[in-house]
């Protein structure tokens, strides 16, 4: 484990002082890895390696799974009230560490500090609060005549989380699984692993029993593959690319474990002819570019009436001009750096492909914004008059790149909205709510937002088609981690 002197920011210093850098959290202890492999953690704003973290191997996975298996027998028998109390303490620990976590997210994946504070951290904490709220109201046994329908925790759950919303994706999986009574082995992304260490500290401080939560760093082929294939893992939940989801499902099939996948997206934003463009378009641009477009449900296809295309372009260009890309630690910065070099290169390549295919460049383009010569900074980019057969309209960019696609009829708008292999999120904008709701019912996606409503942590989230299977958040998010048992004759007096 190596830490550069220039990387001694407060999160790194905190973790180093606590002796948690270079460690895994297994069976309630901070332990050294079994192997010697290391991965660089790069600050994307400076492109400097700030620390190296160990990569686990099959031996580390075996230790973590064994700890989770041992803990399951006791943890699964705790009462909902006991689990809810621990979740409340976890929420309190995360709230107390909110600024440290925000600084950590800015360091490891380039989020603007203002966005880390206002979205990345509080929305992550909301998943813990929501899991506790669901747990306190949930009935684990239901009477159906003489039969009892019982819901029981599925067992040991392995969780693979991505680099784009590091803590948010951890809490979206871990909190409901803990609420259900499952035990956990977490593999966070090796590209943004530090916030997971802070989360493990919060778990420890909250007082969860040893083995209930375990953390092993590693890459996909090593730790991810070992978890997916492990015979003592009952369920695996992954958020990542469709390619990664397929690989995990194939490895998991051998042991017939449950697989939940939240994968890619190319979400449509249908703007109907009667929409208030002055509101709908700027909000659509903001939603598309949130977290620098590094969100699987970002509405990166704005589908607009052809006769209003010029108006849409004007509003979109004005909204993009208000974005401030730069040093993520500056309070005036709205958008920081792309999280890693591979993603930066992909964005540049896809922007170039779009230009080569004839998409009209409205704003942005290839290269860094002016004045930024170092760091993984990209120009917020909007293409207009895009055709559905262009790669930029079909493939997930995972960057601040918006496509504007014109339509001639509302029926055509729905066809365009459904014309991808994905079906994760969608948006519809318009004044006629009967029509808005009708269009929402025609779109094949797991979640639809009407006229940019507030985020709802209780609204289940997941995909149709190649965007995955299963649901996260809210009641449905906890049900994913439960088995159904029918006990006939439980109520003989019925």
Q: CB–CB of 420/394 below 8 Å?
A: yes
Q: Which two tokens stand for residue 210?
A: 């040893």
**pTM of the complete model:** 0.96
Q: Which two tokens stand for residue 438?
A: 């009708």
Q: CB–CB of 288/402 below 8 Å?
A: yes
Biggest alpha carbon distance in the chain?
78
Give the integer Cα–Cα distance in Å for 75 and 80. Answer: 11
Task: Enumerate residues 6+ apart whose C-beta is below 8 A from 240.
Answer: 160, 162, 263
Task: Enumerate residues 6+ apart whose C-beta is below 8 A from 460.
Answer: 446, 447, 471, 472, 473, 474, 475, 476, 477
Catalytic residues: 262, 296
The distance from CA 341 to its chain's CA centroid, rounded to whole angstroms, is 19
- Extended strands (E) in 199-299: 213-215, 235-239, 258-262, 268-271
Task: Enumerate residues 6+ apart whose C-beta is below 8 A from 371.
Answer: none
Give the integer Cα–Cα distance in Å for 442 and 284. Answer: 20
Q: Quick count: other Cβ atoms within 10 Å of Cβ 489?
A: 9
- Domains, the chain: 5-263+470-484 (3.40.605.10), 268-456 (3.40.309.10)
Q: Quick count: other Cβ atoms within 10 Å of Cβ 491?
A: 13
Give the integer Cα–Cα distance in Å for 237 and 468. Answer: 11
Strands of 482-487's sheet in order across: 141-144, 147-153, 482-487
Walk along the chain (494 residues) and give the pLDDT tens digit of each residue. Answer: 343 333 335 899 999 999 999 999 999 999 999 999 999 999 999 999 999 999 999 999 999 999 999 999 999 999 999 999 999 999 999 999 999 999 999 999 999 999 999 999 999 999 999 999 999 999 999 999 999 999 999 999 999 999 999 999 999 999 999 999 999 999 999 999 999 999 999 999 999 999 999 999 999 999 999 999 999 999 999 999 988 999 999 999 999 999 999 999 999 999 999 999 999 999 999 999 999 999 999 999 999 999 999 999 999 999 999 999 999 999 999 999 999 999 999 999 999 999 999 999 999 999 999 999 999 999 999 999 999 999 999 999 999 999 999 999 999 999 999 999 999 999 999 999 999 999 999 999 999 999 999 999 999 999 999 999 999 999 999 999 999 999 999 999 86
Bridge pairing between strands 141-144 and 147-153 = antiparallel
**DSSP-based three-state secondary structure for 481:** coil
- Extended strands (E) in 328-388: 360-363, 381-384
User: pLDDT tens, 351-388?
Assistant: 999 999 999 999 999 999 999 999 999 999 999 999 99
Q: CB–CB of 69/227 below 8 Å?
A: no
CA angle 354, 442, 259 (to 5 degrees): 75
């Amino acid at each position: 484990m190596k830490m550069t002197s220039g990387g001694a920011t407060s999160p790194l210093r905190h973790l180093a002082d606590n002796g948690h850098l270079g460690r895994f959290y297994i069976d309630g202890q901070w332990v050294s890895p079994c192997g010697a492999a290391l991965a660089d953690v790069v600050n994307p704003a400076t492109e400097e390696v700030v620390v190296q973290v160990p990569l686990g191997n099959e031996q580390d996975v075996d230790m973590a799974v064994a700890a989770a298996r041992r803990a399951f027998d006791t943890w699964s028998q705790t009462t909902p009230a006991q689990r809810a109390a621990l979740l409340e303490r976890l929420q309190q620990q995360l709230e107390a560490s909110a600024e440290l976590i925000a600084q950590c997210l800015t360091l490891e994946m380039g989020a603007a500090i203002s966005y880390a504070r206002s979205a990345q951290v509080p929305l992550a904490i909301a998943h813990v609060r929501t899991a506790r709220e669901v747990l306190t109201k949930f009935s684990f046994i239901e009477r159906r005549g003489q039969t009892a329908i019982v819901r029981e925790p599925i067992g040991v759950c392995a969780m693979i989380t991505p680099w784009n919303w590091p803590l948010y994706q951890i809490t979206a999986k871990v909190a409901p699984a803990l609420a259900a009574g499952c035990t956990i082995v977490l593999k966070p992304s090796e590209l943004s692993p530090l916030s997971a260490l802070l989360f493990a500290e919060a778990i420890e401080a909250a007082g969860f029993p040893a083995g209930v939560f375990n953390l092993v760093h590693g890459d996909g082929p090593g730790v991810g593959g070992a978890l997916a294939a492990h015979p003592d893992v009952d369920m695996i939940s992954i958020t990542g690319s469709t390619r990664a989801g397929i690989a995990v499902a194939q490895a998991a099939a051998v042991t017939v474990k449950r697989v939940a996948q939240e994968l890619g997206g190319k979400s449509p934003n249908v703007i109907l002819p009667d929409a208030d463009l002055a509101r709908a378009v700027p909000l659509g641009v903001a939603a598309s570019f949130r977290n620098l477009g590094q969100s699987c449900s970002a509405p990166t296809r704005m589908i607009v009436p052809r006769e209003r295309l010029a108006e849409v372009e004007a509003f979109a260009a004005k909204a993009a001009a208000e974005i401030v890309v730069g040093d993520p630690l500056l309070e005036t910065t709205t958008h920081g750096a792309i999280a890693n070099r591979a993603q930066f290169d992909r964005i540049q390549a896809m922007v170039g492909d779009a230009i080569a295919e004839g998409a009209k460049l409205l704003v942005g383009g290839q290269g860094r914004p002016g004045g930024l010569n170092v760091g993984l900074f990209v120009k917020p980019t909007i293409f207009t008059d895009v055709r559905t057969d262009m790669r930029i309209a079909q493939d997930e960019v995972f960057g601040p790149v918006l496509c504007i696609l014109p339509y001639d009829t509302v029926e055509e708008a729905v066809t365009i909205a459904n014309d991808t292999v994905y079906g994760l999120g969608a948006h519809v904008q318009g004044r006629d709510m009967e029509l808005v709701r009708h269009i929402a019912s025609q779109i094949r996606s797991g979640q639809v937002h009407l006229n940019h409503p507030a985020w709802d942590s209780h609204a289940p989230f997941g995909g149709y088609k190649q965007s995955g299977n299963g649901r996260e958040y809210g009641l449905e998010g906890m049900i994913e981690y439960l088995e159904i048992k029918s006990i006939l004759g439980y109520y003989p007096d019925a």
